[in-house]
Structure 1
Amino acid sequence: MKTIDVILGSARSNSSGAGIFNYLKKNAKELESDNGVKLNFMAIRDFDLPTFNEPLPPMGNPDRKLTGTPKKWIENVKAGDGYLFIEPVYDNGLSGAFKNALDYIGFEMADKPARIISYSSNAMAGQASALALLPTLAMLGMVMLPHMTMIGHIDDNFEKDGNFVSNAPSEDYYSKQLKDAVADIASYTKLLNK
């Protein structure tokens, strides 16, 4: 069975993205059963990665000797067959902690599919972060899925525990969008990892 890493790209302990992350986690059994994949949940904050400062870029250093949290991060993402990134928008761009985590990647994610779920507290739904993330994922050799899921007004819709806010204005829409996002990445993951 193929594994999809669901990665929350925020290092903040009170991240609004936890609502999406925990929603997917709460519904994981159904999503896994419906799509024939395993979902592996990771949050960037759990790795507590130091600022990337290796003497050579990972793609140019075949003799890397990682230890500690960078080694744990690389081992975890290398084991994934596909990726679903949950990405916040910070100052009209992507999360620094998430970019730092991606800077550690060499070829571990190459030729594997990825889909982005972006979010924000306003109607822009994290579009800027999703677009800022694309060049980095392309450089890492990932196969970017053509569709993104964008969640606007996240705090009006999701509780941090993964439940929808009572009378959430977009509950039906976002629950379908998230279900479709998992189905999409599952389909591509199985197709590209035969």
Structure 2
Amino acid sequence: MTKIGIITGSTRDARVNLQVAEWIKDYAEKQGIDAEFEVVDIKDTGLNRFNETVPPLMANKEYATDENNQWSETIDSLDGFIFVTPEYNKNISSGLKDHLDYLGSEWHNKAAGIVSYGSTLGIAASLALRTTLANLKLAIVTPQGAFSLFNDFENMSTFKPQEVHNATVDTLLHDVTSWASALKTIR
């Protein structure tokens, strides 16, 4: 069975990110897509800011902590990802970037989709994330989900997406799943 991790992109206490990630998981399961989906919350990993002696850290296990090893094992066990990113100052959050930088080969040759949100749909953040993911040898699918803080959130705090997004999210989920399955053959 293909395993898809839905990676949260924020560690802030006041975040809405986890709501979006859980909605994506629930939506995928209701569509009957032939894959296992799990939310991977970067806030729960115990990793600190990336400030390591040897990047990527997992290239040299002698520097690894239990948190590093757990993060490595979690990402290594997944076949593909859907990154749920907020837009902070036209970019991804530092927490998400740090979590990406902790690893190297665990990301390679896997599929990735992007779901963004913000006052301008998170478009700038998704573009920045595409570049980072491509450098980690992830195959990024299109289209991407893009939600508005003004139209898809009640009081900018409760996620209530408009139905107009369903077709895009369907395509995203199917593409990530099929690409993730295909890329298993080269890992």
Normalising to structure 2: TM-score of the pair?
0.87
Cα deviation, residue 17, structure 1: 2.3
| Bigger mean CA offset, 178-187 vs 21-30 | 21-30
1:81 and 1:189 in contact (8 A); partners too: yes
Q: Counterparts of 1:55-94 in structure 2 under 5 Å?
A: 55-58=53-56, 61-94=59-92
| Structure with bigger RCO (C-alpha 8 Å, 6+ apart) | 1
Cα distance in 2 for residues equivalent to 1:148 and 1:25:
15
1:11 and 1:44 in contact (8 A); partners too: yes
Cα deviation, residue 61, structure 1: 3.2
**One-letter identity of the residue aligned with 1:97:** G
Unmatched 5+ stretches in structure 1: 165-169
Alpha-carbon spacing, 1:161–1:73, altered in 2? closer, same or farther (3 Å)? farther
Deviations 1:22-48 (A, max 9, x none): 2123335324xx221000211111113
1:4 and 1:80 in contact (8 A); partners too: yes
Cα distance in 2 for residues equivalent to 1:68 and 1:135:
29
- Select the residue among 149, 152, 159 that pairs with 1:157: 152
**One-letter identity of the residue aligned with 1:46:** D
Q: Per the alignment, in what secondary structure is the counterpart of residue 97 of structure 1?
A: helix
Cα deviation, residue 4, structure 1: 0.4
Unmatched 5+ stretches in structure 2: none
Cα distance in 2 for residues equivalent to 1:76 and 1:3:
11
How big is the alpha-carbon RMSD for the aligned residues of Structure 1 and Structure 2? 2.2
1:59 and 1:107 in contact (8 A); partners too: no
Q: Counterparts of 1:19-168 in structure 2 under 5 Å?
A: 19-31=19-31, 34-58=32-56, 61-120=59-118, 122=119, 124-153=120-149, 156-158=151-153, 164=160
Q: Per the alignment, in what secondary structure is the counterpart of residue 35 of structure 1?
A: coil
Alpha-carbon spacing, 1:60–1:52, altered in 2? closer, same or farther (3 Å)? same
Q: Which runs of 4+ in 1 moved over 4 A?
A: 62-65, 159-162
Deviations 1:83-108 (A, max 9, x none): 10001100111100000111101110
Alpha-carbon spacing, 1:21–1:63, altered in 2? closer, same or farther (3 Å)? closer
1:191 corresponds to which residue? 182
Cα distance in 1 for residues equivalent to 2:115 and 2:66:
29
Cα distance in 2 for residues equivalent to 1:90 and 1:11:
12
2:58 and 2:64 in contact (8 A); partners too: no
Size of the aligned set, in residue pairs, is 183
| Bigger mean CA offset, 19-28 vs 133-142 | 19-28
Deviations 1:156-182 (A, max 9, x none): 4246676x2xxxxx6211233323321
Cα deviation, residue 193, structure 1: 1.6
